């Protein structure tokens, strides 16, 4: 239960022998959402014991290959493993055509429905998805081709009934859901127990912002302000700042500056250039600006207990 982020890949452009390209799995109260799907994502899921059939929706930021080349393989594997539930894919225009062409050429038909939701690229934050667990918004990024980030906002949780009072007050099971929603308990003998007496406050709800790929752009600051966890690309160190600008990417210091301005609780940096063997310099440069920074590395998990 609670919030958990699993890094399936955090490299940019190409995978290496130890690092995969971009993909992340968000789990909120056992609901699974996948962000981006670089090549080999399904192998990473096997490696890190991710239950791929539980994924409700996939969010693709943009159509550079290191963010979606793994999608057709994942979709086919879901089919071969017997998926029946509809899958939502939020994506840029063009991805539906790509996937359907791959299936057509291979004379393949999936035994589950894919519901493609094509995204727009707006200047502000746009609401794109909602279920009983979370709301999801797009965040406009500044990349060489149209690119969206994503903001996940967990919905407010219900109050928690004090377990010892359920038996003591003989609260009927059918009344528990209403009490969790804030209703007072009216017992058959006429006694009324105020909701605050028999419940605890709701647990905290969390928010997560995913920002990759993008040049430094502080226009996103008000859109992600006070987010609990921010992932911001940090493809380069300061030694390659000019290269970052040319390729519409950010440095670790850029990412940390956004985190500092947005007053987020924790920053994760990733989308590393394959030229780097380790990321000590990334971390050092980011922490000079924003102390609560961590590296996004393949297989690492960040949960609500870390925030």
- The whole-model pTM stands at 0.93
**Tokens linked to 295:** 């590296």
Residue spans of beta strands (DSSP E) within 78-212 = 87-91, 114-118, 126-130, 134-140, 148-154, 160-161, 185-186, 192-193, 199-200, 207-211
Q: How far apart are CA 22 and CA 36, in angstroms?
A: 6
Sequence-ordered list of residues with C-beta below 8 angstroms from that of 234, at least 6 positions apart, any chain? 250, 251, 252, 254, 255, 269, 270, 271, 272, 282, 286
pLDDT for the residue numbered 53: 95
Work out the angle at residue 300's Cα, subtended by the Cα atoms of residues 2 and 68, and round it to the nearest 5 degrees.
Answer: 95
Give the pLDDT confidence score for residue 190 in this predicted structure.
83
User: What pLDDT, on a 0 to 100 scale, did the predictor assign at position 1?
Assistant: 58
pLDDT digit of tens for each residue in the chain (307 aa)? Answer: 589 999 999 999 999 988 999 999 999 988 999 999 999 999 999 999 999 999 999 999 999 999 999 999 999 999 999 999 999 999 999 999 999 999 999 999 999 999 999 999 988 899 999 999 999 999 999 999 999 999 999 999 999 998 998 888 888 899 899 989 999 999 888 889 899 989 999 999 999 999 999 999 999 999 999 999 999 999 999 999 999 999 999 999 999 999 999 999 999 999 999 999 999 999 999 999 999 999 999 999 999 888 8
Residue 7: the pLDDT is 98
Please tell me the predicted confidence (pLDDT) of residue 159. Answer: 92
The residues that are catalytic are: 66
Tell me, what's the pLDDT at 102? Answer: 97
């Amino acid at each position: 239960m609670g919030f958990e982020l699993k890094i399936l890949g955090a490299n940019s452009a190409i995978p290496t022998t130890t690092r995969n390209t971009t993909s992340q799995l968000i789990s909120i109260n056992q609901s699974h959402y996948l962000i981006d799907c670089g090549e080999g994502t399904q192998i990473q899921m096997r490696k890190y014991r991710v239950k791929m059939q539980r994924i409700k929706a996939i969010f693709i930021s943009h159509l550079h290959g290191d963010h979606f080349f793994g999608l057709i393989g994942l979709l086919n594997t879901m089919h071969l493993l017997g998926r029946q539930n509809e899958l939502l894919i939020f994506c840029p225009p063009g991805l539906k055509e790509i996937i359907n062409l791959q299936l057509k050429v291979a004379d393949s038909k999936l035994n589950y429905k894919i519901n493609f939701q094509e995204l727009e690229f707006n200047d502000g934050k746009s609401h794109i998805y909602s279920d009983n667990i979370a709301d999801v918004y797009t965040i406009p990024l500044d990349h060489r081709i149209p690119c969206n980030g994503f903001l996940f906002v967990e919905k407010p949780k219900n109050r928690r009934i004090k377990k010892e009072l359920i038996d003591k007050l003989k609260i009927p099971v059918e009344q528990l859901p209403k009490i969790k929603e804030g209703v007072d308990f009216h017992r058959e003998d006429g006694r009324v127990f105020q909701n605050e007496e028999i419940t605890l406050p709701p647990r905290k709800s969390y928010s997560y912002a995913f920002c990759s790929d993008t040049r430094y752009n502080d226009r996103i600051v008000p859109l992600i302000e006070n987010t609990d966890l921010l992932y911001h690309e940090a493809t380069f160190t300061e030694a390659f700042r000019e290269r970052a600008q040319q390729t519409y990417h950010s440095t670790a210091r850029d990412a940390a500056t956004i985190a500092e301005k947005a007053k987020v609780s924790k920053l994760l940096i990733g989308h590393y250039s394959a030229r780097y063997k380790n990321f000590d310099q990334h971390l050092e440069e980011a922490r000079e600006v924003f102390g609560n920074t961590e590296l996004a590395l393949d297989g690492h998990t960040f949960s609500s207990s870390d925030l």
